[in-house]
Amino acid sequence: MLGCAPRLDMPPIADRGPVVVTGGAGAIGAPLVRSLLEDGHEVRVLDNLSSGRRESLGRMLDNSGVRLEIVDIRSLDSIRKSFSGAKAVWHLAANPDIRLGTADPRVDLEHGTLGTFNVLEAARTNDVPRVLFSSSSVVYGLPEVFPTPESYGPLLPQSLYGASKLASEAMISAYAHSYGLEGHIFRFANIIGPGMTHGVIYDFFEKLRKEPKRLEVLGDGRQSKSYLRVDDCVSAMRLAEAKSRERVNVFNLGTTDRVSVREIAELIVAAHGGHARIEYMGGERGWPGDIPQQLLDVARIQALGFRPALSSLAAVELTIRELASARHR
């Protein structure tokens, strides 16, 4: 799948035509919509507002160039007409919570795998030439190589969420080769910033809100991962879209450093006044399906000129400061 397909003649989206963003009211979707709008695209946001919020699009909705359609990608009939005339679809809609997918095994199949199938069908039947997809580093499962390159295999995800991302990647590749679409697959590290509704930083703040004197940490705290600020994630995706013209383009998106769960817990307790006791539940994994060690090889996106504005540690510190000050208001 990687790098062996012929290059396409398809140009970057230079004509500023309409684009579809599924999940565009979410934490990553909303800044992506802003970036596309600033570049002069007409943006059609398809979102069921299950974890996204209308408010995250804010004043952008006053702009005639953005249309929010409250629809569910589980229904092909309800999304198909929105793809008419679109130059690209950025497909971000999915269940964002790995543990929810373990609790209910149908969630990622329906919102993820079948949702992606519907998006691809809507793209194919409307001749949309380009599909860009938010995948995840969890497709690597428990890799034995760090930093992990895009060519790593076999890909053996540990969660149903990861299985759904990998199935979606496979379908994008198959559609690209069968029907002539151009596919872009972005394997994200942990993406953090305003508007988050899940993830370790958000979870720790929620726990301390409910129980200010004690912070329970799942696992032994030695889980260590890289964190990419959402603005950097959007910049990297836009750069890859503009510069990569393979039939299927696969990119790891992350930083070159990582931060442990222990460091995050200590930073959050300090931001919270330093009074909470940290209790580690033990074990190397936080929960079934957790990937305790993650560091992506980002040489491929760096070769296009990408440099994140913030390291993992700087991104974590900024996000903690923002959440702490929002909670004190």
Ligand X SMILES: NC(=O)c1ccc[n+]([C@@H]2O[C@H](COP(=O)([O-])OP(=O)(O)OC[C@H]3O[C@@H](n4cnc5c(N)ncnc54)[C@H](O)[C@@H]3O)[C@@H](O)[C@H]2O)c1
75 binds ligand X (CB under 6 A): no
Q: By rule CB under 6 A, what string of x and - marks binding of each residue 256-275 to ligand X?
A: --------------------
Single-letter amino acid, residue 273? G
Record the tokens describing residue 53, joined without a space.
Answer: 């919020």
Q: Report in angstroms how near the CB of residue 273 gets to ligand X at its nearest.
A: 27
Q: Does 50 bind ligand X (CB under 6 A)?
A: yes
Compute the least distance from the CB of residue 116 to ligand X, in Å.
9
User: Which residues 6+ apart lie within 8 Å of 107 measured at CB?
Assistant: 95, 100, 101, 160
Positions in 194-213 near ligand X (CB under 6 A): 197, 199
Query: Whole-angstrom Cα distance, residue 253 to residue 306?
Result: 10
User: What residues does 219 pair with on adjacent strands?
Assistant: 282
Query: Residues 19, 60, 94, 236: which binds ligand X (CB under 6 A)?
Result: 94
Q: CA-CA distance, 188 to 271, in Å (whole number)?
A: 27
Which residue's structure tokens are 């069908």? Answer: 121
Place of tokens 């301390």: 208
Contacting ligand X (CB under 6 A), which of 90, 140, 152, 188? 188
Report in angstroms how near the CB of residue 193 gets to ligand X at its nearest: 9
Cα(223)–Cα(291) distance, integer angstroms: 8
Residue from 113, 118, 136, 173 touching ligand X (CB under 6 A): that is 136
Beta bridge partners of 277: 214
The single residue among 21, 36, 57, 73 that binds ligand X, judged by CB under 6 A, is 73
What is the rounded CA–CA span in Å between residue 21 and residue 23?
Answer: 6
User: Residue 296 Cβ, how far from ligand X at the closest point, in Å?
Assistant: 11
| Both structure tokens of 78 | 């309800």
Shortest Cβ 217–ligand X spacing (Å): 19
Q: How many residues bind ligand X (CB under 6 A)?
A: 28
Q: Indicate the residue type of 221.
A: G
* Min CB(268)–ligand X separation in Å: 17
Least distance CB 274 / ligand X (angstroms): 27
31 binds ligand X per the rule CB under 6 A: no
Q: Residue 269 is encoded by which pair of tokens?
A: 């307790």
Dist. CA 264–CA 225, nearest whole Å: 11
Q: Residue of minimal CB distance from ligand X?
A: 52
Residue burial 195-223, b: 16+ Cβ < 10 Å; e: rest:
bbebbbbbbbbebbeeeeeebbbbbbbeb
Of the listed pieces 25-33, 204-212, 269-277, 308-316, which binds ligand X according to CB under 6 A?
A: 25-33
Which residues contact ligand X by CB under 6 A? 23, 25-29, 47-52, 72-74, 92-94, 96, 111, 115, 134, 136, 188, 190-191, 197, 199
